[in-house]
Amino acid sequence: MAPEARRAQLLDVTSDLVLREGYAAVSIDRVAREATIARTVVYAQFGNLQGLLEALLERTQQRAIEQVQAVLTGTGVRPDRADIDGLIVEAARTFGEMVLADPGTWRLALLPSDGAPSTLRERTEESRRAIRAIVQPVIRWITVERGGLEGVEDELAARAIVTLGEDAARLMIADPEAYPPERMAAFTGALLRTLRS
């Protein structure tokens, strides 16, 4: 197997193990056994257990950030967009669809930090900062340049949106039938109408 493919395979095995049993269950021996390879292959790819876990956290962080960027790109954030409410509702629906298309990434990104390596909390907050940095200019554009939500502070709104997005992702992953993206989008639209009244 090519080194890149082997690395991806080992990260997938580690991710599955963390999601099933938590970070405490992860060891080089266990990952090698689950992947049916020699321990030396895992060491060759990651150096040690910390290297393996950090690589998993980095991949998860990168995927989550790329998906949030894709939501905003895909929903058409642009200066001539007149339908601000439609843009926000569309972004909520698209985000939900992405979460359900890749629940492993989001489950891992939103896991409680119990038993996780010490770098998890730092990485989680780093991811949140990066996602807020993507969301905040969009909020600023909506509130200032487009006059969409008068009086809303872009920094606080970005924090609130990231927190609400995380909670919505948890609900959709836990029970996608009860909390489909369409329900989240409809709620977002209703909330926006209430804010405007």
For 35-68, how does the pLDDT look when each residue is reduced to its tens digit (9 = 90+)? Answer: 999 999 999 999 999 999 999 999 998 998 898 8
The tens digit of pLDDT for each residue in 90-148 reads: 888 999 999 999 999 999 888 776 666 677 778 788 888 888 888 888 888 777 766 66
pLDDT of residue 128: 85
Distance CA 95, CA 110 (A): 15
**pTM score, two decimals?**
0.78
Which is nearest to 107 in space by CA: 184, 19, 23, 24?
Answer: 19
Dihedral through CA 118, CA 49, CA 115, CA 26, nearest 10? 160
Angle between helix axes 39-46 and 28-35 (nearest 10 degrees) is: 120
Question: Counting runs of H as helices and runs of E as strands, what totals does the chain give?
Answer: 9, 0
pLDDT of residue 113: 63
Mean pLDDT of the chain: 86
Q: What is the largest CA-CA distance in the chain?
A: 64
**Secondary structure of residue 25 in the 3-state scheme:** helix
pLDDT of residue 75: 58
pLDDT of residue 180: 97
**Contacts within 8 Å (CB) and 24+ apart, 110-115:** 110/166, 110/169, 110/170, 110/173, 111/18, 111/19, 114/22, 114/23, 115/22, 115/23, 115/24
Higher pLDDT, 155 or 114: 155
